Amino acid sequence: MTQTNAKNEITLEIDSLSYGPYGVGRIDGKAVMVPKTAPGDRVAARIVAAKPRYAIGEVLRVIEPSPLRQTPPCPFVNECGGCPWQHIRYDAQLKAKLQNVESALRRIGRLDGFELRPIIPSPQEYRYRRRIRLQCDRAGKLGYFRPASHEVIEIDDCLIADGKLTGFIAPLRRWVRELDTPLEFVEIVTGDEAGQIVIVGKTGGDFVPRDEGACESIVDKAGGIGGLVLYGPNWRKTWGEAAISVIAEHGVSMKVDADVFTQVNAEGNRTILNELLAAGAFQGQDRVLELYCGAGNFTLSLARRVAEVVAVEGSRLSIQSGKLSAQRNGIENIRWICSAVPAALSRLKQRREIFAQLVLDPPRAGAKGLEAELASFGAEKLLYVSCDPATLARDLGALGNHGYKLRMVQPIDLFPHSFHVESLALMTR
């Protein structure tokens, strides 16, 4: 029940969590999205933005707290925008993520008749990120953005970051303030082998040559920092060892440049790979087409099990890392294609290539418009790894119009205390 008063204060019962930083209540049947709330809360709120189909509210006070609430352990949680669900118990977060995946599949994709498996929790609720990105502003502040703004909130620790990372925040803050090259952000990255710390910085302009000394001095293996990467428009410079090790599975270790995309949750990433391999049941005679392969996160493990993998990726740096990792692991049955995915699909289709299985792990925007090309390769199985339930549902729904049937969806949590969730979908013909 929702109540209002003359001061435009409303009383809301929060009944769910959206795919976003909001709890959801209703007023006269219209959804009101309110941050910092939990299912089961009864709150006093006010509307701050009215949209045609929903409204955005803010909490004035919690009248009756939900039993799903917990006290956030992070001292920065009320200022930082990084963990919008930290005030909610982890079991409730998992339930909401599972519900959001199912809702998107049924509402957006119009999909049914599939197995939705229980969500797999992150092995670690805290200290799970092997890389963190700290924003820089013109005043020399280093930290995270305040929610829905570009105001930098300085931090000295982050409870979801690997404990090896946070000790470098203070020295990096001093280093950033010494530079004349203005940085947009700095990332601290660690690998799966001991003693691997690499700093990655991005700027929108040119490198200032007089910063060379400061960049050389920040790389100090005795102090823990083994490498530095700085890059801007059309340039990239490195100092020290700029790569980290990523262990995909037993017997497969990759060397990946620290500024190349890798999943932030190392154990969670191995869970995705294990689920992918199990769902695909790959055979020794299979030819596999893998799209958006990155630096070979799945590619090398797939290649150990099949006759050939054709791996497509648009980033030249990722392809270079993948080739070197394949050589280090003695894997020779991968055909690497550095190309935008639509162009590569067009060329492969012209050659009338046939694949037993398709694997794709696209960015958040998904793979819209590629359904006909994907269906043309005759693959019996299609495995789709997604970080966005909405674009996953859209693409799976479209693939259903080209002869594929959704069989199974496995949600996997890599990002505790946020609304983000990974999913693995299996389709067959």
Fold exhibited by the domain 94-123+266-428: Rossmann fold (3.40.50)
Q: What is the C-alpha separation between 164 and 170, in angstroms, rounded?
A: 13
Identity of residue 55: A
* DSSP assignment of 334-399: EEEEES-HHHHHHHHHHTT---SEEEE---TT--TT-HHHHHTT--SEEEEEES-HHHHHHHHHHH
Domain 3-64, CATH class in plain words: mainly beta
Identity of residue 77: V
Check residue 168 and give its pLDDT: 95
Other CB atoms closer than 10 Å to residue 208's CB: what's the count? 13
Q: What is the C-alpha separation between 190 and 164, in angstroms, rounded?
A: 8
Q: What is the C-alpha separation between 60 and 44, in angstroms, rounded?
A: 5
**pTM to 2 decimal places:** 0.93
- Topology agreement, domain 94-123+266-428 and domain 131-244: no
Q: Which CATH number fits domain 131-244: 2.60.40.1930, 2.40.50.1070, 1.10.8.420, 3.30.360.10?
A: 2.40.50.1070
Write the pLDDT tens digit of every residue in 66-99: 999 999 999 999 899 889 999 999 999 999 999 9
All structural domains of the chain with their residue ranges: 3-64, 94-123+266-428, 131-244
> In sequence order, which residues have a C-beta less than 8 Å from that of residue 234 and are 6 or more positions away?
none
Q: Dump strand ranges (E) for 276-345.
A: 287-291, 308-313, 334-338
- Please list the rounded mean pLDDT of every run of 10 residues in the chain (429 residues): 62 94 93 96 95 93 97 92 94 97 97 98 96 92 91 94 94 94 96 94 96 95 91 96 94 94 94 98 97 97 98 97 96 98 96 96 96 95 97 98 97 97 97
387 is catalytic: yes
CA nearest neighbour of 381 among 360, 400, 413, 357: 357
| Complete edge-to-edge strand list for the sheet that includes strand 54-64 | 3-4, 10-13, 42-50, 54-64, 30-35, 22-27, 16-17
